[in-house]
Amino acid sequence: MKTTKISIFLAKKIIGAVITIFLVMSILFILLHSVAGGDMVTRMNPFGSAAEKEEMRELWGLNKPLFEQYAVFMKKVFTLDYRLTDDQETTSMDELLFYLPYTVLLFGTATITSYLIGIFLGIRLLSWRSTTLKGLVSGTAMVVYSVPAFVLAISFRNWLVFKYQVFPPVNIFNQEASTILEHLVNVRLLLPAMALPLIVLVLVGLARPLLLLRDHMTLLLDEPFVLTARAKGLSENNVLSEHVARCALLPLMSDASINLALIFSGGILIEYIFSWPGIGRQLFDALRILYYPTIAAAIFLLTMLLLISMILVDILNAYLDPRVSL
């Protein structure tokens, strides 16, 4: 019975993921064709011959009616045919898969760190007696949460990288790495420069779990099981961390899906601002010339990453909360 439930759960999630990808890529197609300044061929090869431009338009269906262009675009998306020309050996998807581990490294570390710090501070806020300290932490979290991620990233980069040189820039990276060992060497070289974009991402993703946990814990303080725990003589720290926080973590996990989307969207901009070798930077470089293959492949990969993360969060939420079934 349990195996059947898991199979049904995974089937629903896969169907939902396919529909989501279909809608996301459809919206992307509309946006790409709404940009002024000509199509991909005009932007990429403005001084090319008419024959060269016509050949490239034929491959992507850009010389056909809009509905046929849409059909060609979606076919390439779902067949993973992210090539500019038929004789191209390396596709845009191959290039982005090279940068995928570095995007996962930055996003994954930022997400885990922001939740760990947010949960810790959320619990501590209720145990601290100083109202000034509570207000300072809560107020700072609210201010940082309200500031756009790219504003923080640009300000921190200008001050801490260029002006005061506290953190090194991202300027050492082997783009020819092909083995696991070479990628590990890349990671080691990138770690010092990773500190600042990681700090920005953590600040962006920290406020939501911190404030949400604090509010839910506040609502649970008058529950009977809390009064019972205090009556047993448990310290206030034990009551908060062992009893109240456990129950307050459940809605926090439910909210994690929304927060993941915010971290991902902010992370794409931060990759570009800090020149981090990831999918976000490649996406922005492709947007400059409206390079369809890389744009489509990047949006497809980032959507897949987000969907997989949200499915994992749903599974973890079902494991932690017996009221939630797969």
Confidence of residue 90 (pLDDT cuts 50, 70, 90): confident
Give dist(CA 143, CA 136) in Å, integer.
10
Domain match, 161 and 261 both: yes
Judge whether 263 lies within some domain: yes
How large is the average pLDDT for residues 278-296?
88
* pLDDT, position 273: 92
Helical ranges in the chain per DSSP H: 2-32, 40-44, 50-60, 66-78, 92-127, 131-146, 149-156, 180-220, 224-231, 236-238, 245-273, 279-288, 292-320
How large is the average pLDDT for residues 211-235?
84
Q: For the chain, what percent of residues have pLDDT higher than 90?
A: 22
For the chain, give the mean pLDDT.
84
Total domains present in the chain: 2
The end-to-end CA distance of the chain, in Å, is 11
Look at 58-72, 96-110, 182-196, 234-248 and tell me which has the smallest mean pLDDT. 234-248
What values do phi and psi take at 46, rounded to 5? -65, -25
Judge whether 88 lies within some domain: no
For residue 26, what are the contacts with CB-CB under 8 A and spacing of at least 6? 70, 74
Give dist(CA 221, CA 227) in Å, integer.
8
Domain match, 11 and 43 both: yes
Write the single-letter amino acid at 86. D
Domain match, 155 and 33 both: no
How large is the average pLDDT for residues 255-278?
78
Q: Could you tell me if 282 and 95 are in contact, meaning their C-beta atoms sit under 8 angstroms apart?
A: yes
Owning domain of residue 37: 2-78
* pLDDT, position 60: 79
Q: What is the pTM of this model?
A: 0.83
Judge whether 326 lies within some domain: no
Domain match, 262 and 131 both: yes
Which has the closest alpha carbon to 239: 217, 254, 219? 217
Domain match, 150 and 194 both: yes
- Structural tokens at position 177: 């790495």
